[in-house]
Structures are given as C-alpha cells and as structure tokens.
Amino acid sequence: MKIGLDIMGGDYAPKATVLGAIAAYQSLAPGQEIVLIGDKEKALPFFQDPGFNPDLFKFIHTTESIGMGEHGTKAVVQKPNSSISIGFKMLKDAELDSFASAGNTGAMLVGAMFSVKTVPGVIRPAIATNVPKIKSGFGIMLDVGANADCKPDVLLQFGVLGSLYAEHIYGMQKPKVGLMNIGEEEEKGNMLTQSTYPLMKDTSLFNFIGNIEGRDLFNDKADVIVCDGFTGNVVLKLAETFYILTLKKGFKDEFFDRFNYEQYGGSPILGVNAPVIIGHGISSPEAIKNMLLLSRTMIEAKLIDKIKSAFR
C-alpha cells in the first residue's frame, strides 16, 4: 500500500505535512508506505527535532508547487511538475493507492477529474465532510463545495455515494439519508429539492427518510445529509466557526470540541476512480496525520470498488 501526500500543500507546509506524516507513520502496519511529494530540501530540516529518519519515507522530489490562490485548472495544466500534478500522475499510473493534499482545492478537483476521472456512471463527484451529532458520533454531508449547481439526478447519486461511504468507512448499518430542505413536507423547497424528492422516495439504492431541515443537522434524524455544493459549503463554513467561537469565548464543551476539523483530517472526493482526500488549508500535523489514516481506511475498505459496483 502506497499512500501519497503532497508535502507542499497547506498554509503551514512543509512543516505541518512532514510532522503529520511522521505521526501517521507510527500507526502504519508492515507493507504500508507513505510517499512524500514535494521539495525534499525544504522538508528535511523538519525531521531533525523529532529525530526521525527521513529514509523511512519515499520522496518524490519537485521544487514546483501550486499556490492556494492560483486558478486550479490553469495551474494543473501549466505546472505539470508541481507536487499536486505529479501526485495525480502517480495515482493514475497506479504508483500510488491514494493521494491527499491540504493545498489548492480547485487543483485537487481538476486533477482528480483529469487524471483518475470519475467512476463510470457517476455524473458528478462530490466532496463529503463529517458533521458531529449532539449525542455522539457524526453524520456525513455532501456535497460541500464541488458542485455549486446540481440537478435532481446528481443529488440522487450523492445519496448513493454518501450511503456507501457511511456504511463501508464508518460502519453505519443502513444509513439514513435525508435531503436538506426548508421544510419536512414533500412539496417544500425550491425546484431542485422538489424534483429530487420523488426520485429519492422511489429509489431502492439507499434508505431515504425524507426532507430534513437545518435544525436536524446535529441530531440523529439522518446519517447522510444530501445537498448541493453551494448550500453544503455555506453550512460547513458556519459549522466550522462553532469550535473557533468556543475557544475565543474560553469554554470547553465535548460537543463543540468535535467540530475541530483536525479530528477528521480531510474531505474525500467521492465518485472518482481512486481515493483522493482534500485537507483544510490550515491543516495542522494532527489533521495531516488523520488525513493519511483516512486514506489508508479508504484503501483497506476497497471503497472505490464498492462504488464502481453500485454504478454498474
């Protein structure tokens, strides 16, 4: 197993990415390897303080990287030797089993679509994220940014992707799938949700429990929350502020602590032909570690094979 990591991606790279990779290494089993892609000379100093031997990692050296503010499509095309571009080329050529980066989100999306491409039958891939539940555990919400505008059949497929992810990565049995809306009634919502509801109601592809409202996001009504990427991204960014606000206000709470993105590591792009994970731009070593361990779990669970089977 070869887990690829862009060590130049993120606001605190390469220090955070190197330290995260070192932390993840401690949890690896024999035969599991982390491949670091980026500027080796810039990365090497960060192995000194923890006293870790860099030779325990495989390095793919490149001095070129894609900045956080660059246009994703242009950067991938114009920078074939960037750490993200090389990572996706290796993933396409089966030299990696997964690829993760806390770098440019647009470049990661474009790279995934252009290299490993979408699973046959999947109209549009989606980015999924974890949503803490008030009692315990968490749900899965998708899409949270890959597709600002969606059609009903795309949301239907998001239900399939989210259900498979919840079941095979987190062990949820018959996960309950809800459609994010402005009311519980079938006829509520805009043209998109009104058209999506009957498709989900009639499907046997997942366990649809109906519409859910924003107030249901953190309770146990649904395990998988489906929405378009515009709505999902707004909700995600709002939810991320909860943890920050508790820190600023100086109080500790177990529920709000679970909004800390570091615990989940990153967000997978579901619906492409290989495990691809996007990390938060401000990823810490802890977040990088968990992003790599999520990569490993997706490989071990053979999630991509299960998605391919569902869309045949």
Rounded Cα gap, residues 132 and 139, in angstroms: 6
Distance from the Cα of residue 102 to its chain's centroid? 10
Name all domains of the chain by residue range, CATH numbers in brackets: 1-122+271-312 (3.40.718.10), 124-261 (3.40.718.10)
Nearest to 231 by CA among 164, 176, 300, 149: 149
DSSP state of 269: E
Please name every residue paired with 64 in a beta bridge, in sequence order, or none if there are none: 82
Give φ, ψ of 278 to 5 degrees: -105, 125
Given a cut of 90, is residue 47 above it in pLDDT? Answer: yes
Residue environment code for 154-167, b if the CB has 16+ CB neighbours within 10 A, otherwise e: bbbbbbbbbbbbbb
Three-class DSSP category at 177: strand
Confidence band for 72, pLDDT divided at 50, 70 and 90: confident
The model's confidence at residue 126, banded by pLDDT at 50, 70 and 90, is: very high
- CA-nearest of 269, 279, 287, 300 to 31 is 300
Angle between helix 15-25 and helix 285-300 axes, rounded to 10 deg:
50
| Interval 203-217: pLDDT, tens | 999 999 999 999 999
Where is 85: in which H helix or E strand? helix 83-92
- Note if the pTM is more than 0.85: yes
Look at residue 223 in the predicted model and tell me its pLDDT: 97
Q: What is the pLDDT of residue 135?
A: 86
Residue 99 has pLDDT above 90, yes or no: yes
pLDDT at residue 200, as a whole number: 97
Residue 63 has pLDDT above 80, yes or no: yes
pLDDT for position 269: 97
Query: What distance in Å separates the CA atoms of residue 275 and residue 109, rounded to the nearest whole number?
Result: 12
pLDDT confidence band for 69 (50 / 70 / 90): confident
The residue to which tokens 């890959």 are assigned: 146
Identify the band that residue 265 occupies on the pLDDT scale cut at 50, 70 and 90: confident
